[in-house]
Amino acid sequence: MKRRISIAIDGPAAAGKSTVAKRIAERLSYVYIDTGAMYRALTYRALACGVDIHDEQALLSLLRDTSIELKPSPHGQIVLVNGDDVTDIIRGEAVTNAVSLVAKHPLVREEMVARQRALAEGGGVVMDGRDIGTHVLPNAEVKIFLKASVEERARRRHEENLARGFPSDLEKLKEEIARRDRLDSERETAPLRKAPDAVEIDTTSLSVEEVVERIMEIVNERIG
């Protein structure tokens, strides 16, 4: 039987992490873990409960009181917060604009990382985020760092919005993505970084299928 390894996929917003991670997980019958959804879920809860997102202790207490479940579904993944389905609302503008401010608090990250490591215990996981290869799973057998130009990443989000019938402003998306990249890269605790042993793939002019194939080649080399 083939070894069930851990695969870490990091990179900035809209580089294609979750799309590609889901496909790889499906191909290998692995579990997909979207760590961004966990930070988004806490941010949603803080906004809904009126908790100050600059108050680290208040956020930590709220997190200890919050169960976050990631459940596979035929349409991707469902996110449940204390049993409520928040899958769509956590992708909205309010949460997107606040999430990097919530995710910068060291104590919040510590608790999230403990939960993420528990989910990955035993291997057979594809986990995506910002600090997976550098911090959450430093011993992951495969580490990938996806990147793409800001213009291309904003264009992808724009296309997604239009396909869903949501209003969308390309220039605003570019600004939001650049701001989040900056906050995520410049924070002190576990910033967005390529791990020294990660394979970097620039997806700007690649299709989803091409990226998946490149990663599968690397995975197959590892699992034999």
The contact set with ligand CDP (CB under 6 A) reads 11, 13-19, 35-37, 39-40, 99-100, 103, 129-131, 156, 160, 180, 184, 203, 206-208, 211
Do 5 and 123 contact (CB within 8 A), yes or no? yes
- Quote the CA–CA distance of 7 and 58 in Å, as a whole number: 33
Distance of closest approach, residue 30 Cβ to ligand CDP, in angstroms: 17
When the beta carbons of 4 and 147 are compared against ligand CDP, the nearer one is 147
Any known ligand binding at 148?
no
Distance of closest approach, residue 105 Cβ to ligand CDP, in angstroms: 10
Do 191 and 184 contact (CB within 8 A), yes or no? yes
When the beta carbons of 167 and 224 are compared against ligand CDP, the nearer one is 167
Distance of closest approach, residue 224 Cβ to ligand CDP, in angstroms: 27
Alpha helices by DSSP H, 121-193: 150-163, 170-186
When the beta carbons of 3 and 169 are compared against ligand CDP, the nearer one is 169
Tokens 């389905």, located at residue:
85
Any known ligand binding at 165?
no
When the beta carbons of 94 and 223 are compared against ligand CDP, the nearer one is 94
The CB-nearest residue to ligand CDP is: 36
Any known ligand binding at 123?
no
Any known ligand binding at 46?
no
Distance of closest approach, residue 4 Cβ to ligand CDP, in angstroms: 22
Tokens 């900056």, located at residue:
182
Tokens 């580490």, located at residue:
143
Do 91 and 99 contact (CB within 8 A), yes or no? no
When the beta carbons of 212 and 219 are compared against ligand CDP, the nearer one is 212
Any known ligand binding at 25?
no
Any known ligand binding at 17?
yes
Do 221 and 166 contact (CB within 8 A), yes or no? no
The conformation of residue 137, written as its DSSP 8-state character, comes to: -
Distance of closest approach, residue 84 Cβ to ligand CDP, in angstroms: 18
When the beta carbons of 53 and 219 are compared against ligand CDP, the nearer one is 53
Any known ligand binding at 98?
no
**Alpha-carbon dihedral sign for residues 59, 38, 125, 8:** negative
3-state secondary structure of 48: helix
3-state secondary structure of 144: strand
Do 201 and 24 contact (CB within 8 A), yes or no? no
Binding residues: 11-19
Binding residues for ATP: 11-19
